[in-house]
Amino acid sequence: MTTGLFISFEGIDGAGKSSHIDGLARAFRDHGRVVTLTREPGGTPLAEKLRALMLHDAMDPLTEALIAFAARRDHLLQVIEPALARGEVVICDRFTDATFAYQGAGRGFDLQKLAVLERMVQTGTAPEAGLLPDLLREPDMTLWFDLPAEVAAERLATARVPDRFEAQPGEFFARVARGYADRAQAAPQRFVRIEAHASRDAVWRQIMLAVAHKGWLAGMEESQP
């Protein structure tokens, strides 16, 4: 049976990651893989309701973190784990790294407490958990769109009406960007840094090189999004 793959896209608001997610999904489908596209917070009816609360209702950092992980637990159980068990490619617009970057580095919430929540929520979710009860579900690869906070702010200035995260000041996004850098440094085997300030075609080539390097889409280095 084909092994499932879990790929996450990460980066501060305005980094441009979302425009490449569909392209990567098409590349895998062109190679005969079944792809599940999803996002966080969200991905299930319950998690989408929690997403709306997070993006629009005022709350303290602990409440934000708890809502994010509650949505993630339902997302894992209802969507991500079943798709991986079927051998599908799961491509997720943000995952746990976003919580550490936004609620941790951005809001200043205790990173150790986030780590406790991470282990509580992301273990015991997989079908093989009976044999590996301590298995912590993480992406097989995280594509991190690294973009200076000031450039992201310029992009967001012309975007739609911002939600409560997109409306944050530049200092907030600078902290979030540092939070992503810290996560990447702590997990170099999983993170791939994408130079997001490059042209669209150059960004796409970086993505394809990263995936081809894993042997997942060999020969696709020059494909177009």
The angle at the Cα of 127, spanning 121 to 131, to the nearest 5 degrees, equals: 95
- Under a CB-based contact definition with an 8 Å cutoff, are residues 208 and 217 in contact? yes
Is 67 assigned a ligand-binding role in the annotation? no
Is 215 assigned a ligand-binding role in the annotation? no
Is 22 assigned a ligand-binding role in the annotation? no
Is 13 assigned a ligand-binding role in the annotation? yes
Is 80 assigned a ligand-binding role in the annotation? no
Is 18 assigned a ligand-binding role in the annotation? yes
Is 11 assigned a ligand-binding role in the annotation? yes
Pairing of strands 141-146, 89-93: unpaired
Is 8 assigned a ligand-binding role in the annotation? no
- The rounded distance, in Å, linking the Cα atoms of 225 and 211 is 13
Q: Cα–Cα distances in Å, from 223 out to 2, 27, 37, 196, 210?
A: 23, 8, 20, 18, 13
Binding site residue list: 11-18
Binding site residue list for ATP: 11-18
